[in-house]
Structure 1
Amino acid sequence: MTHSADPQSIADYREAARRRLPRMIFDFFDGGADGENTLAHNRAALDARLLLGSAPVDVGRRSQKTTLFGRTFEMPLIIGPTGLAAAAWPKGDVALARAAGRAGIPFVMSTAGTCTQDEVAAAGDGAKWMQLYLFRNRDLSTRIVDRAEELGFEALEVTVDNAVAGKRLRDARNGFTLPFRWTPAKLASLMLHPGWALRMARAGEPRLEVMAAGLGPQRTETIAELMQSQLDPSVCWDDIARLRDRWKKPLVVKGVLDPAHVARALSIGVDGLVISNHGGRQLDGAVAPIDVLPEFVDEARGRLTLLVDSGFRSGSDIARALALGAHAVQIGRATLYALAAGGEAAVLHALGLLKAELDVVQALTGAAGIGDFHPGMVRAPASLPGAVRSTAGSALHPSGSLALHP
């Protein structure tokens, strides 16, 4: 049962997370790279695409059933990989996995997870996918892949948009380190968030369990520096081809923005792509995934499963992506905000909000089923103030006129 005081949108959950987390933790989840222009543009690019209401259409019976890699899910949504989830809530990865399973959607475990692969594999009956970084230490990456196979993870999602780690100014300014380093100012913030502090005291400080299993304890100035010390800038499509030979289940490549890569992905035998700018946390000034999604659809011509992430916060956002050709949407911050606000129960509630919002859009756009979404449902009017129309027919706000709504 929900109550009037419960969050009623992902924006409400973001505000709840802001109140309940110490600043350095909230900023780690909420922030982006450099000036955070990509964060702003992700939101602007979605808002610039307007939905076309369609009535009267018989939408008395509506379904969100979606098939991905041969398995049917309850809605076209995936909880994507998010690192250090236990900083939001103890055993955060397990809570996210259990909520996803209860909602009937996949959960993607991060290589920067704060639970073990075994713990997540045992968390409920839902579909689990494994995200992978190709580290300098390839033996570590290989062990993660092999353990995922042994534990029954259903797909592998390898992230490629991290030749170097993006510069996270909020983390640097906050002195966000791993392990946490407590200054007087941070301790003062801690005292203002007793609920979070008590949970962390009981559970213990979060550790990157998957990485620690192969690397041992690591101390760095920022999380980005830890990742930078392990990421391999030499990763290329040849590495993906070798991974394809090793992993026999669905293989997804995450972090592509250039539609020209579709042909190479097809030639290797990749099963899906996640069109993503890493939620604005890597390349500042990058195009929004929704900007280039139609070009990926044209290049793929139905031969790849196309997923999309970065900035999605509502059912209408999901509908925009479906209409432009995505098979499903991955979310990250949206469920982290809910996790910070109330653990597994809040994540499940947030997923329910997104499902209900998408249902409203279905009813008002005439999409009784997910397959009924089509590009004609999306408009980017030339009358939009300051709009710039791209060759793909999209319209974008100038970034300077927008407030940040990550």
Structure 2
Amino acid sequence: MQARLKRTANIDDLRAMAKRRLPRMVFDYIDGAAGDEATARRNRGAFERLLLRQDILVNLSVRELGTTLFGDAVSLPIIVGPTGMNGAYWSQGDLCLARAAKAENIPFVMSTAATTGLDALRGAAGPLRWFQLYMLRDRGLAEALLARVYEAGFRVLQLTVDTAVPGRRNRDIRNGFTLPFRWSAGKLADAVSHPRWAMQMLRAGSPTLALFAEAVGPVPKGATISDVMQQQINDAFVWEDLDWLRQCWKGKLMLKGVASAEHARRAHAAGADGVVVSNHGGRQLDGTASTIECLPAIVAEAAGRYPVLVDSGFRSGTEIAKAIALGADAVQLGRATLYGLAAGGEAGARHALRILADEFDRALALTGATSISELRGRVENVAR
């Protein structure tokens, strides 16, 4: 496994390795997006319209890649973002990702849709552990969950605000991707043709939404992921309700799914301590702008008063450098680390992070910058 990982040069290589290892229905759950997947493609294509500017004859012998987020020093402007169903890609996938983030001294964000329980995750994650919340219909259950999360040492909460109604993901519908796995002759044949994955799942058992079950009770069997989420997510939570959440949560609060300066302004006015510019990797509303297109206006609105993070579509350190140059404080990763996880577990996730760190370091240096602050502004948009 280690030898195969070492031969992977970039995240696309890890994606290819993950595709070979996983059955189609599982790979498509990582790789797919909503509708015709136009937003997912736009997330990727928008990076090409941004060009980094270079300086030359600069002393680059000492470079600093680290930064601070909510007062905590981190080694890179990178966060392992919240993703669900990670146990379907590798046994104890959430723990693998948490350990990888801890090893690289960067934050890990636990998802409400995690396939491991809160206590196990707390034991695996480092001190930079954050939590992502899908607002539950039952406020009492939500408040109890948040109390447990805070008691477990999670100090930053990301409320996802772009998933009141789950996106329609055609690949999952076609593949019949359900909880727990529901097998047909075709899916069994596909699983058998991926023996390493199949043997691991036989030993570990079918993944479940363990944290969801801890919070709200047993998850309905035979339901798609979207079905489960739709039954439990509060689709009537509005701006005025943020005051209730602000009172419940003692730590830092971020809104994840912000895509306009107006919404960033309202979030800050409502007591949010920061925002995540996100379109859920194109997995929610299809046909929207890319996050890198939305980023500059939101950075301008924030004007350094609160952190602005960004996710969706990032697969190289150069793309991360472009976001930092545009003013983002850090980039959250989704599929990039999941491809590494699916390819090689914790070692694969760490390999993905190291690839991105090396690419980011080289992009930083080749622009003539020696720190994140020097990288600011070294980018131009050629789309006219």
How far apart are the structure 2 equivalents of 1:257 and 1:340? Answer: 29
User: Are residues 186 and 372 of structure 1, via their aligned partners in 2, closer, same or farther at CA, if it must alter by over 3 Å?
Assistant: same
How many Å separate the matches in 2 of 1:58 and 1:209?
51
The 8 Å contact of residues 102 and 126 in structure 1, kept in 2 or not, is answered as no
Aligned to 1:16: 17
85 and 107 in structure 1: CA distance in 2 versus 1, 3 angstrom threshold: same
Residues 1:124 and 1:273: Cα distance change in structure 2 (over 3 Å): closer
What does 1:5-404 align with in structure 2 at a 5 Å threshold? Answer: 6-213=7-214, 214-375=216-377, 377-381=378-382, 387=383, 389=384
Moved more, 187-196 or 49-58: 49-58
Which residue does the alignment assign to 1:384?
none
Which residue type is aligned with residue 326 of structure 1? A
Identity %: 49
Q: Tell me if structure 2 keeps the 8 A contact 1:17–1:26.
A: yes
TM-score (norm. length: structure 2): 0.97
Q: Distance in 1 between matches of 2:208 and 2:217?
A: 12
* Residue type of the alignment partner of 2:144: R
Q: Please report how far the alpha carbon of residue 239 of structure 1 lies from its aligned counterpart in structure 2 after TM superposition.
A: 2.2
Specify the SS of the correspondent of 1:260: helix
8 Å contact from structure 2 (residues 29, 172) kept in 1: yes
Structure 2 CA distance for aligned equivalents of residues 266 and 89 of structure 1: 38
1:67-116 deviation digits (Å, cap 9, x = unpaired): 00000000000000000000011111111000000001000000000001
| Cα offset, 1:202, TM superposition | 0.5
Which moves more between the two structures, 130-139 or 66-75?
130-139
Cα deviation, residue 5, structure 1:
5.1
Partner SS state of residue 122, structure 1: helix
CA distance in 1, matches of 2:242, 2:47: 30
Separation in 2, partners of 1:4, 1:253: 35
CA contact (8 A) 2:209 2:219 kept: no
C-alpha contact 1:133 1:141 (8 A) present in aligned 2: no
CA distance in 1, matches of 2:87, 2:177: 15
Query: What's the CA shift for 1:124?
Result: 4.4
Q: C-alpha separation between the residues in 1 aligned to 2:126 and 2:220?
A: 33
Q: How far off its partner does 1:272 sit? A: 0.9
The Cα of 1:143 is off from its aligned counterpart by: 2.1
Give 1:262 shift. 2.1
Superposed displacement of residue 212, structure 1? 1.0
**1:349 and 1:197 mapped to 2: Cα distance?**
23
1:218-264 per-residue CA deviation (whole Å, 9 max, x = no partner) reads 12442111111112221112222211112121111101112101222
8 Å CA contact 1:316–1:357 kept in 2: the answer is yes
Task: Specify the SS of the correspondent of 2:198.
Answer: helix
Amino acid at match of 1:174: N
Q: Which runs of 5+ in 1 are unaligned?
A: 382-386, 390-406
The one-letter code sitting in structure 1 at the alignment partner of 2:169 is R
Task: Name the CA distance, whole Å, in 2 between partners of 1:239 and 1:145.
Answer: 15
Contact persistence 1:219–1:226 (CA under 8 A): no
* TM-score (norm: length of structure 1): 0.92
SS at match of 1:156: strand
Aligned-pair CA distance for 1:137: 2.0
Runs (5+) with no aligned partner, structure 2 = none
Residues 144-177 of structure 1 show CA distances to partners (whole Å, capped at 9, x for unaligned) of 2111111101211110101200000000001111
- Give the structure 2 partner of residue 400 of structure 1: none
Q: Secondary structure at the match of 1:158?
A: strand
Q: Give every structure 1 segment of 4 or more consecutive aligned residues whose post-TM-superposition deviation is greater than 3 Å.
A: 1-5
- What is the deviation of 1:3? 7.0
Q: Distance in 2 between matches of 1:265 and 1:307?
A: 14
Kindly provide the amino acid, as one letter, of the partner of residue 359 in structure 1. D
List per-residue Cα deviations over 1:281-336 (Å, max 9, x = no partner).
Answer: 00101111110111001111111100000000000010000000100000011111
8 Å CA contact 1:98–1:126 kept in 2: the answer is no
CA-CA distance at 1:217 after TM superposition: 3.1
CA distance in 2, matches of 1:160, 1:35: 22
Secondary structure at 1:302's aligned position in 2?
Answer: coil
Q: How many pairs were matched up?
A: 382
The 2-side partners of 1:39 and 1:263 are apart by 26
The answer to which of 62-71 and 212-221 deviates more is 212-221
Does the aligned pair in 1 maintain the 2:179–2:221 contact within 8 Å?
A: yes
- Indicate conservation of the 8 Å contact 1:220/1:226, yes or no: no
